[in-house]
């Protein structure tokens, strides 16, 4: 027969084992550093009249420095705050993430992820950040945060024209005075000129300007450049990019003539008159033009065209009893060619 003391001991031991066995607490699994991606550092955005597009580079390494083969998904977080209620020191109220598919990581080239949304409200400030995941339980740290104010954008600039010059293109357009909804605004409207050399990848040239004319200098003559102009609505200190103009093209041209030839020498020969000069050192000189004036004439006329590889001209169409005076010009490879000023006039009595 079991005594009360023995029974109490059994019950006490059983209760102790129960307590020991039941005190365990489940926690979220901690992913190893070998599978957690590095945080995205180059999140950026572009805004137009339709909405916003985010893009970023796929992480290639884990936080431990090992190579990644793929990204399962990206988490895109968004916060929206009315401009009137914005507090620079307050926490950003990010909402639940929108999941964006990932993909294979290219170890040789940067692969970019992207996300677009048109669900924007006028007069609100937006914030975005992105995380990368290699599994449901292995997420990177937060990316850099991008923010902008959304407002009904301004219409696109109309009447865009280009005027080409030497190593430069001047772009002009009509002033924008309305928003996309047709309303006028008290906010100022600036303009961002964008340029492309392949007609596809447009990049900003300088910063937004208030003028309706912009000179793009330092270009290569003979190369085709494409331009478009985007309106930029300034809401307080925030820029709201708007409509983009039609594309126009311009080809800067060489308008700089060569220097005038020097060292002109005129020599009488048995067959006529030979004219010599110093060869130009300019790389774009295509040739020389020889001009002649008889002693009884006021104006010179062209009598010869010499390739740039030579610096001599023989004039055989001369009269024996007439004095002649010669000048030389240089011209370049531009189309149309730029011709220098005439050299000093040198004469000979034949």
SS3 88: coil
Q: How far, in Å, CA of 178 to CA of 59, rounded?
A: 42
Structure tokens at 246: 């039609």
Structure tokens at 234: 């300034």
Cβ-contact 288, 350 below 8 angstroms: no
Give the residue from 176, 170, 154 showing the smallest Cα distance to 242: 154
SS3 13: helix
The stretches of 3-159 forming alpha helices (DSSP H) are 4-22
Q: How far, in Å, CA of 279 to CA of 305, rounded?
A: 14
What local confidence, expressed as pLDDT, does residue 141 receive? Answer: 96
Question: To which residue do tokens 């005190």 refer?
Answer: 23
* Cis peptide bond N-terminal to 209, omega within 30: no
What local confidence, expressed as pLDDT, does residue 119 receive? Answer: 80
What local confidence, expressed as pLDDT, does residue 32 receive? Answer: 76
Structure tokens at 84: 């009137």
Q: How far, in Å, CA of 186 to CA of 15, rounded?
A: 77
Question: To which residue do tokens 């033009």 refer?
Answer: 289
CB atoms within 10 A of CB 19: 9
Name beta bridge partners: 299: none
SS3 85: helix
What homologous superfamily is domain 44-150 in, according to CATH?
Immunoglobulins (2.60.40.10)
Beta carbons within 8 Å of 240's beta carbon, 6+ residues apart: 47, 148, 149, 150, 151, 153, 154, 232, 233, 234
Structure tokens at 265: 């020498």
Structure tokens at 226: 């494409």
Write the class of the CATH domain 161-250: mainly beta
Structure tokens at 240: 């709201």
What local confidence, expressed as pLDDT, does residue 22 receive? Answer: 47
* Domain 265-349 fold: Immunoglobulin-like (2.60.40)
Domain(s) of CATH 2.60.40.10: residues in the chain:
44-150, 161-250, 265-349
The stretches of the chain forming alpha helices (DSSP H) are 4-22
Cβ-contact 204, 194 below 8 angstroms: yes
Question: To which residue do tokens 């005075």 refer?
Answer: 177
Name beta bridge partners: 163: 170
What local confidence, expressed as pLDDT, does residue 316 receive? Answer: 94
What local confidence, expressed as pLDDT, does residue 13 receive? Answer: 35
Q: How far, in Å, CA of 271 to CA of 14, rounded?
A: 134
What local confidence, expressed as pLDDT, does residue 334 receive? Answer: 87
For the chain, 350 residues long, give each residue's pLDDT as a single digit of tens. 444 444 344 433 344 433 444 445 555 566 777 799 999 999 999 877 778 999 999 999 999 999 999 999 999 999 999 988 999 999 999 999 999 999 999 999 999 999 999 888 888 999 999 999 999 889 999 999 999 888 888 999 999 999 999 999 999 999 999 998 898 988 899 999 999 997 778 999 999 999 999 999 999 998 999 999 999 999 877 888 889 999 999 999 988 999 999 999 999 998 899 999 999 988 999 999 999 999 999 999 999 999 999 999 999 999 888 999 999 999 999 888 999 999 999 998 65
Dihedral angle, C-alpha 15, 17, 20, 23, nearest 10 ° = -60
């Amino acid at each position: 027969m079991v005594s009360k003391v023995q029974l109490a001991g059994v019950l006490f031991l059983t209760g102790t084992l129960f307590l020991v066995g039941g005190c365990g607490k489940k926690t979220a699994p901690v992913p190893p550093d070998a599978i957690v991606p590095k945080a995205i550092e180059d999140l950026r955005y572009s805004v137009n009249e339709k909405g916003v597009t985010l893009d970023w580079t796929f992480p290639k390494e884990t936080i431990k420095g090992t190579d990644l083969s793929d990204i399962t998904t990206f988490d895109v977080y968004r916060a929206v705050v009315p401009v009137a209620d914005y507090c620079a020191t307050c926490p950003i109220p990010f909402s639940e993430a929108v999941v964006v598919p990932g993909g294979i990581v290219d170890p040789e080239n940067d692969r970019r992820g992207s996300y677009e949304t048109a669900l924007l409200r006028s007069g609100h400030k937006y914030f975005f950040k992105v995380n990368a995941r290699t599994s449901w339980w292995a997420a990177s740290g937060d990316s850099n945060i991008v923010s902008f104010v959304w407002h009904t954008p301004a219409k696109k600039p109309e009447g865009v024209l280009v005027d080409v010059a030497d190593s430069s293109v001047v772009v002009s357009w009509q002033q924008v005075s309305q928003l996309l909804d047709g309303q006028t605004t008290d906010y100022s409207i600036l303009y961002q000129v964008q340029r492309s050399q392949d007609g596809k990848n447009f990049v900003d040239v300088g910063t937004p300007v208030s003028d309706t004319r912009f000179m793009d200098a330092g270009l290569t003559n003979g190369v085709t450049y494409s331009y478009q102009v985007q309106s930029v609505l300034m809401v307080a200190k925030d820029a709201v990019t708007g409509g983009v103009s039609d594309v126009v093209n311009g080809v800067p041209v060489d308008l700089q003539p060569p220097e005038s030839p020097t060292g002109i020498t005129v020599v009488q020969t048995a067959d006529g008159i030979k004219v010599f000069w110093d060869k130009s050192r300019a790389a774009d000189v295509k040739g020389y033009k020889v001009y002649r004036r008889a002693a009884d004439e006021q104006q010179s006329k062209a009598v010869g065209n010499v390739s740039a590889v030579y610096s001599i001209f023989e004039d055989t169409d001369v009269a024996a009893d007439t004095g002649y005076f010669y000048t030389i010009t240089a011209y370049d490879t531009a189309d149309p060619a730029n011709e220098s000023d005439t050299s000093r006039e040198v004469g000979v009595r034949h």
